[in-house]
Chain A
Amino acid sequence: AQSVTQPDIHITVSEGASLELRCNYSYGATPYLFWYVQSPGQGLQLLLKYFSGDTLVQGIKGFEAEFKRSQSSFNLRKPSVHWSDAAEYFCAVGAGQKLVFGQGTRLTINP
């Protein structure tokens, strides 16, 4: 069965520091992979997605993610975080027409 693991429940970084959020997936076929962000009291916003081709994908708000098939990973990165990046981040794998989500990583930004 498909599954997504986000090993870090909560991460705190200082404003201006770099960020990497980890995501590992389990899926038998070529995965479609997504990162969503949920700000407090909001719905989910799509940050970026990987379907095929270049394994480094660029998203909105300065985020990028790298697909590594050998490691079954799709980690999210940002070179310099802003206070407005504080939110919950969800990694998801597309399983047919469904999405399977990880447990989420809550990002806190220190001023």
Chain B
Amino acid sequence: SAVISQKPSRDICQRGTSLTIQCQVDSQVTMMFWYRQQPGQSLTLIATANQGSEATYESGFVIDKFPISRPNLTFSTLTVSNMSPEDSSIYLCSVDLGQGAADTQYFGPGTRLTVL
């Protein structure tokens, strides 16, 4: 497995502002993922972030709202832009260690965001 950390662990923000969430992993990984977990809901994939290429966004998520950076093989950031109360969620990053043909994702502890 891998040790994955996220910063901040939680935050309370005002509407209209932006928050950048960091994800750090203790080993080099090709694929990192960002998920959103709305209150009482399951996880929904926002985007896949590969180092050296643009992030690939899922349907319903756009780069202007959720810009992602992937500057190296151990780090990624997700920004939640122009926030509204509907963005209140837990945001989780995950990594695929690429062990064999079957992909297994390991998750960070999450960032709990509340937008007022």
> A residues within 8 Å of B by Cβ?
32, 34, 36, 41-46, 49, 51-52, 90, 94, 97-99, 101-104
Contacts and interface: CB of A to CB of B under 8 A. Distances in A.
Given A99-B45, A103-B41, A103-B42, A42 B109 contact: yes
Nearest to A4: B42
A49 B104 contact: yes
Contacts of B105: 46, 99
16 contacts: A32-B102, A32-B103, A43-B92, A46-B1, A90-B43, A94-B102, A94-B103, A97-B48, A97-B96, A98-B33, A98-B45, A98-B48, A99-B94, A99-B105, A101-B42, A104-B42
A61 to B, nearest CB: 15
Contact of B104 (A41, A45, A46, A52): A46
Interface residues of B, number: 24
B57 interface: no
A94 B44 CA distance: 13
B107 interface: yes
A104 B41 CA distance: 8
A35 B18 CA distance: 33
B107 A43 contact: yes
B31 interface: yes
B42 to A, nearest CB: 5
Given A90-B42, A97-B103, A101-B42, 10 more contacts: A34-B104, A41-B112, A42-B109, A46-B1, A46-B106, A97-B96, A99-B45, A99-B94, A99-B105, A103-B42
Contacts of A103: 41-42
Contacts of A52: 102
